Amino acid sequence: MLPYPSGELHMGHVRNYSIGDAIARFHIMNNENVLHPIGWDSFGLPAENAAIKNKIHPKLWTEHNINKMKKQFKSLGFSYDWTREIKTSDKKYYLWTQWLFLKMFENDLIFRKNSKVNWCNLCKTVLANEQVLNGKCWRCNNDIEYKNMEQWFIKITNYANDLLNGHVNLINHWPKQVLSMQKNWIGKSYGVEIYFKLFNIYNKKIVVFTTRPETVFGVTFIVLAPEHKIINELKEYITNYNDVSNYVFENYKKFDKDKFLDKNNKTGVKLEGICAINPFNMEKIPIFVSNYSLIEYGTGAIMAVPAHDKRDFEFANKYNIKIKQVIESNALIEYPYEQDGILINSKNFNGINSREAFDIIIDFIEKNNFGKKVTKFKLKDWLISRQRYWGTPIPIIYCNDCGIVTIKEENLPLSFPEKIDDIKKFINTKCPKCGINAKRETDTMDTFLDSSWYYMRYCDANNNKKIFCKEKINYWMPVDQYIGGIEHACMHLLYSRFWCKVMKDLGLIKYSEPFTNLLTQGMVTLNGYAMSKSKNNVVSPDELIEKYGADTVRLFILFSAPPTKQLNWSFSGIQGCCRLINRIWNLFYIINTKSDLSASEYEKTKILKIMNITIKKVTKCIEKTYHFNVAISSIMELVNSLYLYKYHSNDNNISKNVYETILILMTPFTPHVCEELWEKLGHKKYISFYKWPIFDEKITIDSLIQIPVQINGKIRGKINVLLNDDEKKVKSIIKKNKNIMLKLNCKQIIRFAYIKNKIVTIVVK
């Protein structure tokens, strides 16, 4: 995921981008064509707020931060293709974001309406539902308020089913938690809308949505969301309308949807003077307005069955409302009973299992015009208007005669004036259709629009004539490996998937999902919080690079924990990674120094076996599991083995072969030192483009065996031999074994017998 140019990398960034660089370098060394690009998510509130605070233009502030972070990226040796670098705040980029806006507008995927929106008073802008976390702004953690405003929306709901169905192709390649989070956010529900007529009020009804139609005989009250429009429509019938109106107003100012989960915060007011009729048994049912019914879900009205729903049960207890059981269980029931069972107190449906009754009662509802079968989604249309300067301007003009008019494509990009004070002049323009005086839209787009398609632009980053060349986009896309935090599951990742499906429908691309594989790296935390400038708990890589070198920093962040796990920052361990690099460096001099001893066949076979096992393990760890810590540990073992082997061997060919393999395997993690040592070995070609080693399965099979040596009928020791060694070879191995030779004590051997691969028998006198 492209970074936001906040001004300085911290170790959380280093972890994310080190993972990507290790994977990219591995695939390059496997002779694959790799596109490893970088860009900047450079529009947005933080830059604008920082610019205001520091009395500098947000463009200058952003460029300063980009230059600083770019220098840090380069110091870490990340193998980016800088010729494809993009900035979402660059006119050459957001021209195409505006172009896509126009295409979506033409296809009726963008609309404007007056609606109740989430307003952050600190950021001075509205937020999409996805950008509100527990009633607070995702950026500044300020409490959210409600406002009514004319805003622009994208019809992401048109693609709700496609977004869910697309999970089938991702289930083996994306983390299950991400798919689960998206599924819950989209919130597809199968159920029924039931019409509850109002007693003695002609032509008025309350439509409720329920996923539990089998409990309809247990309804003892109806709950309306405070924003439900029927409350105002029934104003003349509600005898306590002032109380109801005051309650609605107080709840209107609140936002936190999670409050209704706390029974102490479940509040409500009964609508006196009116009641509803249950069409199944014609019973009169009281109506309440309450904060635990949400206008965003279903119809904004629920049928309350306190015997079989926890929230309804708590509300009924608080306001002394009747509880009626309609599902029986074998055990003694404790309300609320929310499991399956046999229907009771349900007239003609008594005795039916509640699960089977679901479809039976829905059919009955539709045949009798009591309602209709429906599918509902929690997902709401994407609110994209932002009341800020530093963002992509919305290419719309308002004309008194023509209404909403789009800016012509040839006039893109539409840019705000450099001087913010000139915005007032910018507003006034001429209508492209009729030529009379008109007004430009001054809202900017949610920055998530810019970051929903940026990865496609990498494929043809310098194309000034069109958004991208189809041949290039179809060659490179979809992204083979995408890396970023799980916190983006229901924002960036969902938006990108939606954007991809829209662009396919527009005929721009031929694939449906943007990212084939997704890796969500764990947070790097310090003092119990994820590293963040806002938390003042960041660790800059600069000082560590200065002290230990970039390779040590990269190695440490990859070795400290598996990439999907949280990493609790600690300085302990970085010295160990530094020592490993120093040992590899020192090995260069050791393997070029001849030893007085020769290696045995056993020792040669053993070191080659360890080398091939290491190649196999490291390859799997980088290519499939991304357990870089396991890969690095395996290389450490090979380094240790080479030290032991070299100190007892003058076989430079094997030593050099193993050493070169170590350098190749370490290159994705520590490219700088590996390049330096590779050159010192006399190679002309960069190691970063050298072929990745292929392990030899035969060598990894255990060809070394241990057999007993029997002297005069007693086992006196064991020796290591190669499978199928002949008797002559076994004798030479025994002669080199000091322990066995001591036990022979220079006695005369009168019989020497070797049963191949099993035992040696010696008789002496």
Q: What is the pLDDT of residues 228-273, one digit of tens each?
A: 999 999 999 999 999 999 999 888 766 544 444 444 678 999 999 9
* Per-residue model confidence (pLDDT) at position 125: 84
Secondary structure tally for the chain: helices H, strands E: 25, 34
C-alpha span between 648 and 406 (Å, rounded): 79
Question: Does 420 or 311 have the greater pLDDT score?
Answer: 311
* Contact between residue 420 and residue 430 where contact means Cβ atoms under 8 Å apart: no
C-alpha span between 612 and 697 (Å, rounded): 8
Q: What are phi and psi of 375, to 5 degrees?
A: -120, 130
* Per-residue model confidence (pLDDT) at position 253: 62
Distance of CA 411 to the CA centre of its chain: 37
pTM for this predicted structure: 0.85
CATH 1.10.730.10 segments of the chain: 576-697
Distance of CA 245 to the CA centre of its chain: 43
Q: What are phi and psi of 573, to 5 degrees?
A: 115, -25
* Contact between residue 192 and residue 360 where contact means Cβ atoms under 8 Å apart: no
- 203: its two tokens: 């032509």
C-alpha span between 707 and 196 (Å, rounded): 88
C-alpha span between 295 and 381 (Å, rounded): 14
Sign (positive or negative) of CA dihedral 656, 662, 668, 672: negative
* Contact between residue 286 and residue 193 where contact means Cβ atoms under 8 Å apart: no
CATH-assigned architecture of domain 189-376:
Alpha-Beta Complex (3.90)
* Per-residue model confidence (pLDDT) at position 330: 66
Q: What are phi and psi of 117, to 5 degrees?
A: -125, 165
Beta-bridge partners for 268:
290
Average pLDDT over residues 82-110: 98
C-alpha span between 735 and 716 (Å, rounded): 14
Residue with tokens 């963040």: 532
Based on its alpha-carbon atoms, the radius of gyration of the chain, rounded to whole angstroms, reads 36
* Contact between residue 760 and residue 753 where contact means Cβ atoms under 8 Å apart: yes
C-alpha span between 427 and 438 (Å, rounded): 8
* Per-residue model confidence (pLDDT) at position 260: 43
CATH 3.10.20.590 segments of the chain: 704-764
Distance of CA 712 to the CA centre of its chain: 70
CATH 3.90.740.10 segments of the chain: 189-376
C-alpha span between 490 and 496 (Å, rounded): 10
Most confident stretch, 42-51, 120-129, 165-174, 584-593: 165-174
* Contact between residue 98 and residue 414 where contact means Cβ atoms under 8 Å apart: yes
Tell me the CB-side half-sphere exposure of residue 575, using CA atoms within 13 A. 2
C-alpha angle 608/627/564, rounded to 5°?
175
Q: Which amino acid is at 439?
A: K
Give domain 576-697's CATH superfamily: Isoleucyl-tRNA Synthetase; Domain 1 (1.10.730.10)
* Contact between residue 146 and residue 118 where contact means Cβ atoms under 8 Å apart: yes
Tell me the CB-side half-sphere exposure of residue 308, using CA atoms within 13 A. 27
Tell me the CB-side half-sphere exposure of residue 91, using CA atoms within 13 A. 8
* Per-residue model confidence (pLDDT) at position 648: 66
* Contact between residue 351 and residue 341 where contact means Cβ atoms under 8 Å apart: no
pLDDT digits (tens, 9 = 90+) for 699-753: 777 677 889 999 999 999 999 888 788 899 899 889 888 889 988 988 899 999 9
C-alpha angle 516/453/89, rounded to 5°?
140
Residue with tokens 């976390």: 133
Residue 296, C-beta contacts closer than 8 angstroms, at least 6 positions apart: 129, 257, 378, 380
* Per-residue model confidence (pLDDT) at position 202: 86
Average pLDDT over residues 45-56: 86
Spelled out in words, what is the top-level CATH class assigned to the domain 704-764? alpha beta
Exposed, middle or buried: residue 131 (CB in 10 Å: 0-12, 13-18, 19+)?
buried
C-alpha angle 563/639/677, rounded to 5°?
90
* Per-residue model confidence (pLDDT) at position 458: 98
* Per-residue model confidence (pLDDT) at position 257: 46
* Element holding 718 (H helix, E strand): strand 714-722
In the 3-class helix/strand/coil scheme, how is 405-427 assigned residue by residue?
EECCHHHCCCCCCCCHHHHHHHH
* Contact between residue 468 and residue 456 where contact means Cβ atoms under 8 Å apart: yes
* Per-residue model confidence (pLDDT) at position 268: 94
Instruction: Please report, rounded to a whole number, the percentage of residues in the chain having pLDDT higher than 70.
Output: 97
Instruction: Please provide the size of the chain in residues.
Output: 765
Question: Does 141 or 493 have the greater pLDDT score?
Answer: 493
Residue 161, C-beta contacts closer than 8 angstroms, at least 6 positions apart: 188
CA distances from 66 to 16, 72, 391 (A): 17, 10, 17
| Least reliable range by pLDDT among 42-56, 205-219, 364-378 | 42-56
Instruction: Please report, rounded to a whole number, the percentage of residues in the chain having pLDDT higher than 90.
Output: 75
C-alpha angle 458/483/93, rounded to 5°?
25
C-alpha span between 570 and 524 (Å, rounded): 10
* Per-residue model confidence (pLDDT) at position 154: 98
- 39: its two tokens: 């860009």
* Contact between residue 618 and residue 631 where contact means Cβ atoms under 8 Å apart: yes
